[in-house]
Structure 1
Amino acid sequence: MRISNKIKTLALVLAIGLTSSCTLEEGQSLNGAQTTSISEGLSKTELPQVVAGILSNMRDRMSTQRDVMSVLGREYWVLQSSDPGWGTELAAGLLSNGSFFINNPYSERYATVKACNLLLESLEAESTKIVFTENEIVAIRGFANTIKAHELLSVLNMVYQNGIRTEVSDPDNLGPFENYDDALTTIMGLLDSGFTDITTAGEVEPNTLGVSYSEFNRAIAARVAMYQGDHAKVLSALADSFMNMEAGADLNAGAYLRYSAAGADQLNPLFNALPSSTDGARLVYPDFLDPASFEAGDTRINKAVIRSGTDPELCLAGMCGTHDVLLYESNTTPVGLIRNEELLLLYAEANMTSNPGEAEAAIDFIRAGAGLGAVGAGNVDEDRIIYERRYSLFGEGHRWVDMRRFGRLADINQDYDRAGDLSPVPNQFPIPQNEGQ
């Protein structure tokens, strides 16, 4: 896998503070005087910086992936005058195996997988076994497999039935591509083993996510189980996650990637100063705000804010909108990886047929937070799940995946598309051309 060549040997900048970014830019030398490799062993001093570096790496090109999936799901347009491909390729549905829309997120997710694999490799070194107890090694392994599973799932969500390589620990002997179902099974295996390790041996530090690694693990496991159609596993995983439906529970509680303006750290790339311009805008797809699409009084539409001026419409290459996306208050606002609101939606979906009363309770809890009344008995069905997920998880990378897994991509309203845009939207990206396929 050529895209992983930039980190054949993981190097971490030890001079950087634990809360700072440890990202590695394309082409950057990893052999400077301030770097050290963990491929031959891990020290107590290095561990927290390795963990912080992996968490930091998870942020790289995550914004590109969110934008790409939001455009395909017709949640919003991306207007970028310096890169017309957002309209001529992505919005048009022309998904090339050579575009940055797939290559960059794909590369960065596998870069984090590589970092996790090197951390796992370091646990086998004799020097590591001297300074860490067996229990500590088990805990580190649980962390690495948890993050690795999340990153593999992120890639799989983009390429879908084209499948992914799940075994990439040896760059000279890569494993075969696994199909979608088999890859989900492998990912779930990593999560289950990671959860067992963490609950047996404890948590590693640092942790800036906002929930424990074990809770994060089970939250992602619930998402994977839903993709597999295993509702019993969804409910089992949720029981050990951070899901909370008690009175006053915060729908936004969950696992987040952090940003700051300090030193070499990153700013939130999904933040837009408003009103935006064609130099970089995220314009809400008009159907989201159509009164025929949402229930009156649903405050979740406040994720869209009208542009200022007497004529708020902004257009570029036929992509037009009157409202900017407002999901992040500043350029240091954290970005959610998975939130309580999604877990409650998974809970509702898993209970929809077998225990409708529980499904209704979860949906009503979410709707109360959006200023809406109860759905009533017997009213939680597939259409209800799709509606609530659309407005609760807007701009978080779910709608395209959701409509695909329900077999309803053709139901995505494309009335505001341009003539010639592919309809229905495509269901997957091709494997990047530099994979040699």
Structure 2
Amino acid sequence: MKKLNKYLGIAVMAAISMFACNPLQLDEIEDPNNPSVGSVSNNATREQIQFLLTGLESRHRGYVTNISQAWNTFGREIWYLNGSDPRFQTDWLGQNGRTPDNAYFGFGTTGGGSWASPYQAIKQADVLIQASLGAGTLSDADRKAVAGFAKTIKGYQFMIPANWVYQNGIRIDVADPLNPGDFVTYEQALDFIKTVLDDGDQDLSAAGGGNFPFKLTRGFDGFNTNAALKQVNRAIAARLNAYRKDWQGVLTALDASFMNLSGNLNAGPAHPYGAAPDVFNPIFYVRNAVVTTMIVVHPSMLEDATPNDLRVANKLFERTAPPITVSTDAGTLVGTHQDNRWATNTQSIPFIRNEELILLKAEAHANLDQTSDAVDAINIIRNAAGIGAYSGATTKDALINEILYQRRYSLWAEPWGHRWIDARRYGKLNEIPTSFDGGTIFTQFPHPQSELNWDSYIGN
């Protein structure tokens, strides 16, 4: 069984433990030295609920490293150059005709942030909800608040495997880890996620006003009331509705979110990081570090940039030390710029921001042929970037192209793979350049082999 870091241990080992071979399986062994699910199923204390909730926050960030490195490579926002293991280049870039298979490098179910980690967070949310229902020390309002928070995180996490395997579908019925449901289509999964988020929104409403009844980490500073958590829930729902192409639904969700057209573009909840016993920001790299492994800026981001764009100046650091270089079968890859977003290795990483919400507003208006509103939202982003108001064509196609371009620079390398998903949902994967690395742009991934092995095991 995987050893959990100390931070996760305090929060999670009080509640659950995962079998490495099956991320949905909970340890049912009753052990007073390592309390299991049974110890919190009936009449959990407030302290135990707090442990579970902090554990859920920790689980919630489990995808960040893998997706920041891999999905942003697929969309050619970055290269994750790794001088020690060539598979980060050959496999992830699809060089020499490499295509995804069930044993694709870097995505095993025991550690892959695109598959195992989200489902572990989902199960953590389920355990938290169940424990709160049986906790006699909690009021009905407390239970609703806890359930609303858990379902908000649960909905977010379900979107990760759904967007990884795309049309291959995911399991949404995972209540019984020994008998999970069948795979459902991408569209069915998104509709299910909507119900999860909507239920969470209703729970937070039923919890009433006031502060959230338990302590959240600093990642939720400014969002630690029931009303503010409802806004986070609706922000996530807005992203989901864009994937569902429910454009009015996007606008409705945004109206109830924390979107602020004149506010700080970076405002939003975040994944916190810290020194031991916590873990450091996994995508922080010392500027000008002389290393052979680093996330670097993809050359197309520099080539396609608008002159004097403040996002380029602020986010992309031009190295004065030697560039990061890695030799591959398709030639040498050279990284001249690195990530400049993180001042320290303990800085939090936002998981949804006001800037994304404003761009979602622009996208929804454009798809609804509400041209003036779309341009107004676009100009908020352009003016903040110092590149002036939009003066191009105002056809739907032209506005969508402009919005996708602005999303490339506003949401660059965020832990979601926005450009890869955006290009796929608009049929523009062929516009992502491969000339710099001789690779391939993937559309989706098959289910991991261990997931298929589980089905074979159950079938026998």
Aligning the two structures, in what range does the TM-score lie when normalised by the shorter sequence? 0.7 to 0.9
Closer/same/farther in 2, CA of residues 59 and 218 from structure 1, 3 Å limit? same
**What are structure 2's unaligned runs of at least 5 residues?**
21-25, 456-460
Provide Cα deviations, 1:193-212, integer angstroms capped at 9, x if missing partner: 10011012143422332333
- The yes-or-no answer on 1:122 pairing with 2:131 is yes
Between the aligned partners of 2:131 and 2:410, the Cα distance in structure 1 is 41
Deviations 1:189-240 (A, max 9, x none): 0000100110121434223323332111101100000001111100000011
CA contact (8 A) 1:13 1:22 kept: no
2:278 maps to 1:287: no
Write the deviation string for residues 314-343 of structure 1: whole angstroms up to 9, x where unpaired. 333232221112222211111110000000
Distance 1:66 1:26 in 2: 25
Q: Which of 121, 142, 147 is 1:141 aligned to?
A: 147
Alpha carbons of structure 1 residues 332 and 316: separation in structure 2 relative to 1, 3 Å? farther
1:315 has 2:326 as partner: yes
TM-score with structure 1 setting the length: 0.88
Aligned 8 A contact 1:13 1:36 in 2 = no
Name the stretch that deviates more: 58-67 or 27-36: 27-36
Shifted more, 201-210 versus 86-95: the winner is 201-210
- Measured on the aligned residues, the alpha-carbon RMSD in Å equals 2.9
* Alpha-carbon distance change, 146 to 200 in structure 1, aligned in 2, over 3 angstroms: same
Matching residue of 1:51:
53
Pair 196,400 (structure 1): closer, same or farther in 2 beyond 3 Å: same
Shift of 1:65: 1.3
- Paired AA for residue 412 in structure 2: F
Measure, in 2, the Cα distance between the counterparts of 1:265 and 1:15: 10
**Is 1:102 aligned to 2:104, yes or no?**
no
* Structure 1 counterpart of 2:380: 365
Instruction: For 2:50, give the aligned amino acid.
Output: P
Q: Any conservation in 1 of the 2:148–2:199 contact (CA below 8 Å)?
A: yes
8 Å contact from structure 2 (residues 145, 203) kept in 1: yes
CA drift of 1:138 comes to 1.9
**What amino acid does structure 2 have at the position aligned with 1:33?**
N
The one-letter code of the counterpart of 2:183 is: F
Q: Give the whole-Å Cα distance in 2 for the aligned partners of 1:230 and 1:298.
A: 31
Equivalent residue number for residue 306 of structure 1 = 318
Aligned residues of 2:49 and 2:131 also touching (Cα < 8 A) = no
2:231 is the counterpart of 1:215 = yes
Deviation at 1:432, TM superposition (A): 0.8
Q: Which residue of 1 aligns with 2:458?
A: none
Determine the structure 1 residue equivalent to 2:253: 237
Moved more, 342-351 or 95-104: 95-104
Deviations 1:236-285 (A, max 9, x none): 00011110012xx1100011000111x31111001111224554211211
Q: CA deviation at 1:349?
A: 0.5
**Residues of 2 paired with 1:241 and 1:288: CA distance?**
30
* 1:274-300 residue CA offsets vs partner (Å, 9 max, x unmatched): 22455421121111101xx12211111
Could you tell me whether the CA contact under 8 Å between 1:54 and 1:116 is conserved in 2? Answer: yes
Residue 356 of structure 2 corresponds to 342
Share of identical aligned residues, percent?
33
How far 1:118 sits from its partner (Å)? 1.3
Q: Could you say which residue in structure 2 is the equivalent of 1:76?
A: 78
Q: What is the distance in 1 between the residues matched to 2:11 and 2:53?
A: 12
User: Aligned residue for 2:426?
Assistant: 406
Counterpart contact for 2:292–2:324, Cα < 8 Å: no
Determine helix, strand or coil for the equivalent of 1:102. coil
Q: Does the C-alpha gap of structure 1 residues 226 and 34 become closer, same or farther in structure 2, counting only changes over 3 Å?
A: same
Write the letter of the residue equivalent to 2:413: G
Aligned residue-pair number: 416
What TM-score does the superposition give when structure 2 sets the normalisation length? 0.84
- Relative distance call for 1:39 and 1:362 in structure 2 (3 A) is same
1:32-75 CA deviation, whole Å, 9 max, x = no partner?
72645423442222222211110011122421112111100001
* Secondary structure, counterpart of 2:41 in structure 1: coil
Answer whether contact 2:294 2:324 (CA < 8 A) is retained. Answer: no
CA distance in structure 1 between the partners assigned to 2:338 and 2:15 by the alignment: 32
Contact 1:307–1:313 (8 Å) recurs in 2: no
Look up the SS of the partner of 1:365 in the other structure.
helix
Measure how far apart 1:23 and its partner are: 10
Structure 1 unaligned spans of 5+: none
- Residues in 1 aligned to 2:120 and 2:196: alpha-carbon distance in whole angstroms: 17
